[in-house]
Amino acid sequence: MTMNPKIESKNVNLYYGAFHALKGITMSVQPNTVTALIGPSGCGKSTYLRLFNRMNDLIPGIRIEGDVQIDGKDIYSKSLRVDELRKKVGMVFQKPNPFPKSIFENVAYGLRVNGLNHASFVEERVETSLRQAALWEEVKDKLKKSAFELSGGQQQRLCIARALAIEPSVLLMDEPASALDPISTSKIEELIYELKSKYTIIIVTHNMQQAGRVSDKTAFFYLGELIEFDDTQVIFTNPQNPRTQSYVTGRFG
Amino acid sequence: MTLKRFIEKLIEGMLMISSSISALAVLLIVLFLFKEGFSLFSTSPLENHNVIVVSKGNPIEKLTAPQIKDIFDQKITNWQTVGGKNDTIILFTINDVSNYFSEEEIGENFEYLPEKLSRLTDSIPSMLAVYPDKYLAKDFKGKTVSVAKNNIPDFISGREWFPTAEPAVQLGVLPLILGTLMVSFFAILFALPVGLATAIYMAEVADERLRKILKPIIELLAGIPSVVYGFFGLIVIVPLIHDTFNLPVGETALAGSIVLAIMALPTIITVSEDAIRNTPRSMKEASLALGANKWQTIARVIIPNSMSGISAAAILGIGRAIGETMAV
C-alpha cells in the first residue's frame, strides 16, 4: 500500500443531538477500488457514507468531530464549498429518485446546475453517461419521455448515469440495489465492477453475497463502531473479530 | 363470511347513495339558478307592468331600454332622435295625473282614469306616456310602444347597469364582468409572487422554531372575516393610494386588487407551503448530491414538483377573495 489513499477518515465521531452515532472511525480507501460497508440496520454505515459528500449537513442538530479527507483535502474545512465537493463525490441513493423530468433532462441536470449548457456538449455527455450506466440502448429512442415511465431497475441505472454525468471521482452508493429484482441487481453489480476502473466506489449493502461479489475491501460496522476492515476475502473467510464472524455467517443482524 | 360480504356491500351502497345525492343536489341547484336566470330574458325591462303609449299618429313602434332611460333623463328631448317626427317629447307618467286632471274627473277609485288617459294621449300627438297597464282603456285609441325584451347578447355586452331605473331597467353586465376580471387578475399578480416567496421561505429557509410560530399566525389570517379586510382597505389602503397617486378618490380597482390580494395571501401561503414541503426528501437530496445549491434545488426541482399544489393554492386563494366580494 504505497499509494496515497483517495479517501481517509481519522477518528471521526458523529452525534445526532445526544446520540453518539459514529465512534472514532478511522479508515482509508484506495483509489479505483470498491469498498463495501456492511452491518446491521442502525449501525451507522449509511451515516458514515453520507459523511463524504456532507449529506449529513442537512440534518439539524448534528455534530461532527475528526478529520475527513478526500485527495488529501479536509472536506469539512470552512474554505471548502459544499457544492464543489458534491460535484466530485457523486451519490446513488437507496430508492431510485429520478426528477419529474424527461430522461434526458434527468441526466443533464447535474451539468445544467453547474452552468454547462452548451447543447452539443450536454448531448454528448448524456449519451456517454447513459452508455456507462448500460442504459443507452434501452432509452435512446425515448429520451424525451418522463423518467417515471422506466422500470425500477432502469430508474436506478438512470440515477447512476445522472451521478456519472458530472464526472465525479468518487461514487457513493447507499444500498443501490435493495429495491430491485435479482436481474436488475445483477446489472447494477456488473456496472459497479466496470465503473471501478474510473471511480472510487463506496457501497453500503445489506446483502452479504453482493458485498462478496462486488467489493475489494469490506468494512463491518456495529453500533457505530468500525469492528473490522480488511480485504473482502478475509472478512468473509477468515475474519479476525468474532462479531464479524457471527454477522457474516448469518448468526445475527 | 357472508355477513362480512353483506356489510361490505352495504357500506359500498351507502357510499354510492351519499355521493349520488350530493351530486344530484349540486345539479339541482345549478338547474334552479339557470331556470331563474333565464326567466329574466323573457321579461320586458319595463317595471311594474307599465306600458308605454303614444298617439296613433306617432310613427314610433319600438323603443329600447337605453332610449327610454335617456328620454326620462331628458337627454333625448326630440322624437327625431329615436326615429320619429321633429317634435319635442312631452313626458307623462302616472305621477303627473294631478297636473292634467282633477280628482273628480278621475273618479274616487280611478274608474274614469283609463278613458281620460286614452283621450289625453290622443289629444297630444307628441306625448309619451308611461302608466300601469291596468289603466289602459279597453277601447284605447293610441298605440302601445313595444320595448325590446331583455336578451342574452345585450345582457353580456351591455355597458349600462341600472337595475332599478324607472321606468325601464337596463341590465348590461359587461362592466361588472370586466371589473371582476381585472381586479382578480391584478390580485393574482400581487398575491402569487408574495405568497409563493413566503411559502418557500417558510418551507425551505426558515428554521423549525420560526415556522412553528409563523404557520398558525398565517392560518389564523385566513379566518378573518372579509368585512374586516374591507374595512382595513377603506381605512388604510384607499387613503394611501389617494395620497400616493394624487387622485381625487382612492377607491380604485387598484385598492380592490390589493385588498383581494391580501385576502388571498393566507390561503396561497399555507396551501403552497404544504405542497412544497410534500416534495420528497429523496428528490431534494438527489439535487443537492449533484452539486446544485439550495436555490437551484428550489427553482429546478422543488417548485416544478409542487406546481400542481401551487396552482391549486392560487385558485383557492383567489376563489375565496372573489367569492367574498364584501371587501370590495
Give me the pLDDT at residue A98, please.
92
Interface of A with B in 75-114 (CB under 8 A): 83-84, 86-87, 90-91, 93, 95, 97-101, 109-110, 112-114
Do residues B52 and B86 make contact, with C-beta atoms less than 8 angstroms apart? no
A113 vs B291: CB contact, 8 Å cut-off?
yes
Say if residue B326's pLDDT is above 70: no
The better pLDDT of the pair B118, B302 is held by: B302
Give me the pLDDT at residue B251, please.
67
Out of A99, A113, A114, closest to residue B283 by CB = A99
Three-class DSSP category at A47: helix
Q: Tell me the shortest Cα–Cα distance from A78 to chain B, in angstroms.
A: 16
| Closest-CA residue of chain B to A50 | B289
* Segment B13-34 mean pLDDT: 95
| Overall number of domains in chain A | 1
Q: Is residue A113 part of a domain?
A: yes
* Segment B87-106 mean pLDDT: 78
Q: Is residue A1 part of a domain?
A: no
Give me the pLDDT at residue B158, please.
73
CA B132, CA B94: separation in Å to the nearest integer? Answer: 8
Q: Is residue A2 part of a domain?
A: no
As given in the structure block, the three cell numbers for residue A1 are: 500500500
Q: Which residues of B touch A146 (CB under 8 A)?
A: none
A90 vs B280: CB contact, 8 Å cut-off?
no
* Segment B77-81 mean pLDDT: 79
Say if residue B119's pLDDT is above 80: no
Give me the pLDDT at residue B14, please.
96
| Closest-CA residue of chain B to A113 | B292
A84 vs B291: CB contact, 8 Å cut-off?
yes
Give me the pLDDT at residue B16, please.
96
| Closest-CA residue of chain A to B205 | A58
A83 vs B304: CB contact, 8 Å cut-off?
no
Q: Can you list the residues of chain A whose pLDDT is less than 50?
A: 1
Do residues B297 and B287 make contact, with C-beta atoms less than 8 angstroms apart? yes
CA B236, CA B227: separation in Å to the nearest integer? Answer: 14
Residue ranges making up the domain that contains A29: 7-248
Give me the pLDDT at residue B327, please.
60
Q: Tell me the shortest Cα–Cα distance from B212 to chain A, in angstroms.
A: 15
Q: Any CB–CB contact under 8 A between A198 and chain B? A: no
B291 vs A114: CB contact, 8 Å cut-off?
yes
CB pairs under 8 A between A and B: 65
B282 vs A93: CB contact, 8 Å cut-off?
yes
A229-to-A35, A111, A140, B249 alpha-carbon distances in Å: 10, 36, 41, 81
Out of A58, A99, A114, closest to residue B286 by CB = A99
Give me the pLDDT at residue A165, please.
92
* Segment B195-222 mean pLDDT: 89
* Segment B306-313 mean pLDDT: 90
A97 vs B283: CB contact, 8 Å cut-off?
yes
* Segment B47-70 mean pLDDT: 76
The better pLDDT of the pair A27, B124 is held by: A27
Which range scores top for mean pLDDT: A88-92, B21-25, B276-280? B21-25
Q: Is residue A132 part of a domain?
A: yes
Q: Is residue A172 part of a domain?
A: yes
* Segment B42-62 mean pLDDT: 74
Give me the pLDDT at residue B20, please.
96
* Segment B72-84 mean pLDDT: 78
A159 vs B289: CB contact, 8 Å cut-off?
no
CA B296, CA B274: separation in Å to the nearest integer? Answer: 20
Instruction: Give the residue carrying C-alpha cell 338547474.
Output: B31
Do residues A49 and A37 make contact, with C-beta atoms less than 8 angstroms apart? yes
Out of A58, A86, A100, closest to residue B290 by CB = A86
Q: Which residues of A touch B278 (CB under 8 A)?
A: none
B246-to-B239, B242, B249 alpha-carbon distances in Å: 10, 6, 9
Give me the pLDDT at residue B200, please.
92
| Extended strands (E) in chain B | 50-54, 62-63, 90-93, 127-132, 143-147, 161-162, 170-171
Under DSSP, the state recorded for A98 is -
Give me the pLDDT at residue B11, please.
95
B287 vs A113: CB contact, 8 Å cut-off?
yes
Three-class DSSP category at A246: helix
Q: Is residue A167 part of a domain?
A: yes
Instruction: Give the CATH number, domain containing residue A181.
Output: 3.40.50.300
For chain B, give the percent of residues with pLDDT over 90. Answer: 17
Out of A83, A91, A159, closest to residue B292 by CB = A83
| Closest-CA residue of chain B to A92 | B286
As given in the structure block, the three cell numbers for residue B11 are: 357500506
Q: Is residue A236 part of a domain?
A: yes
* Segment B52-56 mean pLDDT: 78
Residue A49 phi/psi, 5-degree rounding, is -60, -45
The better pLDDT of the pair B162, A222 is held by: A222
| Closest-CA residue of chain A to B285 | A55
Give me the pLDDT at residue A158, please.
93
Q: Is residue A25 part of a domain?
A: yes
For chain B, give the percent of residues with pLDDT over 70. Answer: 95
Out of A53, A95, A100, closest to residue B289 by CB = A53
Q: Select the residue from B212, B284, B290, B294 to test the A interface by mutation, using most A Cβ atoms within 10 A.
A: B290
Q: Any CB–CB contact under 8 A between A122 and chain B? A: no
Say if residue B140's pLDDT is above 70: yes
